[in-house]
Amino acid sequence: MGPRPFLILCCAALAAAALLAVAAGVWLIYVNLPEHGSEIASIVIVYGGGIAFLLVAFVALLWGYLDQALARPIAIITRGIQQVIHANPDHRIVIDDVHHLGALPAAVSELVRQLASARRDTAAAIARATVDLESQKTQLATVLRDLHEGVIVCNLNHRILLYNYRARQLLRIGGEIGLDRSLFDVLAREPILHAFRRLTTRLAQGRYESQGDGSWVSFLGTPVDGGATLEGRLSLVLSGEAAPTGYVISFEDRTDALAALAVRDRLLRAATEDLRRPVANLHAAVEILGESQSLDSKERSQFLQVALNESRDICRSLDIIASEYKDLITGYWPISDIHSSNLFYNLARRLREQYGFALAVTGMPRWLRGDSYSLILLLDRLIGHIAAEVGISAADIEALAGDRHVYIDVIWPGPAVGASRLHGWLDAPLEATAGDITLRDVLDRHQTDLWSLTGSDGFARLRLPLPCAARPAADGEPSPLPARPEFYDFALLKQPVALGDLGRRSLRSLNYVVFDCETTGLAPSAGDEVVAIAGVRIVNGRILTGEQFERLVDPRRSIPASSTRFHGITAEMVRDKPPLTVVLPQFRAFVGDAVLVAHNAAFDLKFLKLKEAECGVSFDMPVLDTLLLSVFLHDHTDQHSLDAVAQRFGVPIERRHTAPGDALVTAGIFVKMLDVLVARGVGTLNEAMAAGKSVVDVRTRQAVF
């Protein structure tokens, strides 16, 4: 109760007590003096009423005074403080001079002013710190993304706290690596544990910083699929008290390097030990032919045949060794995808600035593979030779698409350069390159050659074939398609799940995998199959778009045109794709111990449940349905399709009716639902499951009636 209502109540009680006292006095006089009661009562009433009136008036005046001097100023101060705390820190508390609070209003005003100033300073400091933190996070993310090595940070329970994109590439994992998941889901356990124990032992014995490499341990490991050999280093993350709080591993793929080492050793052995015998035979045959004069023609012919056969074997072996050596050194050359327009424009600028040569870029740009820097040096040198040889100051350059190559053509009017002249230029070294490699070395390391062509139109060409880019062409966005009908299988979502401690955790603290399936039809029990499945992970209320699972599936049956109309997947697209017996265990490994989320989850879950026994997996984790949660939150409408719910929550829709697109839309809806669910009293997994179940129960009763 505020001060003013309390004061009013006290004054009213005081006035009522005064009136009651006067009334009681009149009654007592009337009862005790009955013979004179009426006269005395009249006197008492007159004088008592006057006294009562004066008492009430006094109480009223007292209330007015106390209200203006105390209660009203205190109420103003109270409301002002609330306004400053909760709404406007710059609010000023203004009190009339008619008060008896002394210096309290001025002191409160000064306190509020200092509080507002402190809050502004704190907000500014937080804003600056936030900007600095975001800048540091961006810089760290950039550094981690561009590192050639994979980096993973784990806590002492070997759960992943951070990883970079390179780590995911090196582990050759489609989506199993993820935040708050066990490191041993992706890396072999024992090499990591051995390195970790070595470091913790060093730390316990005080040798952690006592030697040059004491703070890290190297290891050789493999991904869980054993498909690569990884070389890495492990170091501890220490607290201020020098206690381990986690560890960092950095690693790179040494599979190709070790394989190249084995090839190199085999080539050395082939060039020495394996050639020793044929060289010795050849030497012996030639020595006999040169020193023995008594050989008849038949014997001489035999020794000549031996020399011929051995020399032929030696040449064949040397050709094989040279070819494999060429492949070996090519594998170490930095090759990447290049857009021809970038290559050509940089080359044109270089030629223009250095020689005043005009190189015109023509044709459609193409993606190709190569080392951009060495290719620019190569073409720069060759075009310079051509300009001096045939006397030109301008030429065209274009990229032409072939079956397996992209052809770079330098075109000029006039005579072509002879092949012998062209190949004579290739042995000159290139400056500004490591190891002073030659033009021919650049061609060898790109596994290509040069051609000199003469056209019938009076133009000559220098043609350089290069490999096509590894990157796929960008897929176009699918055309808009009608929405998929909604289906309910209430029995699936009413299965009891023993949640235990998991059920009592807050919704935002859980890990989720939001998934979607595309199918051949709408009747899983009648033989329809999955043709695509996709999932995206949510950790701590954040959608991790970098942790996605996406697979096309061969349904081992035809895909009706009516279904293709929804999802756009044709039989040609799933040809040679793995069946569900391969994909579903992969998806189950991606889900791990996360909670599943889907829109109209019963439909998608039915397809998975029917294949559990065949695929050897079990989907027994909790499942949340955004459709049912939408019905729970917005029971005022019957519009609960994915499009309608996305529009209601302001989630943009992209790649609709594709498994990854619908999974991302559903994830966006679910993240925005979390705060609304909490506001409705649904803050834990148990409560969310109960909310969905309540909708299922209502729908079941509706189906009965």
Determine which helix (DSSP H) or strand (DSSP E) holds 450, and give its type and residue range.
none
**Dihedral through CA 46, CA 47, CA 51, CA 52, nearest 10?**
-30
Q: How far is CA 665 from the centre of its chain?
A: 15
Please give the Cα distance from 653 to 658 (Å, whole number): 11
Phi first, then psi, for residue 393 (nearest 5°) are -125, 5
- Which amino acid is located at 406 in the chain? V
Please give the Cα distance from 214 to 204 (Å, whole number): 12
Tally of residues, the chain: 705
Residues 6+ apart with CB under 8 A from 158: 182, 183, 184, 192
Contact assessment for residue 529 and residue 611, using Cβ atoms and an 8 Å cutoff? no
φ/ψ region of 21 (left if φ > 0, alpha if ψ in -120 to 50, else beta) reads: alpha
Tokens standing for residue 281: 């035979």
Residues 6+ apart with CB under 8 A from 324: 263, 267
- Which amino acid is located at 703 in the chain? A
The residue among 161, 145, 144, 143 whose CA lies nearest residue 153 is: 161
**Which one from 99, 385, 567, 657 is the annotated catalytic residue?**
657
Please give the Cα distance from 692 to 595 (Å, whole number): 14
Please give the Cα distance from 253 to 150 (Å, whole number): 9
Tokens standing for residue 89: 């820190």
Residues 6+ apart with CB under 8 A from 41: 26, 29, 30
Please give the Cα distance from 259 to 602 (Å, whole number): 49
Let me know if 657 is a catalytic residue: yes
Q: How far apart are the first and last CA of the chain?
A: 52
Please give the Cα distance from 321 to 271 (Å, whole number): 7
Distances from the Cα of 46 to the Cα of 17, 56, 248, 412, 420, angstroms? 18, 15, 96, 130, 141
Distances from the Cα of 572 to the Cα of 26, 555, 698, angstroms? 108, 12, 43
Give catalytic residue positions: 657
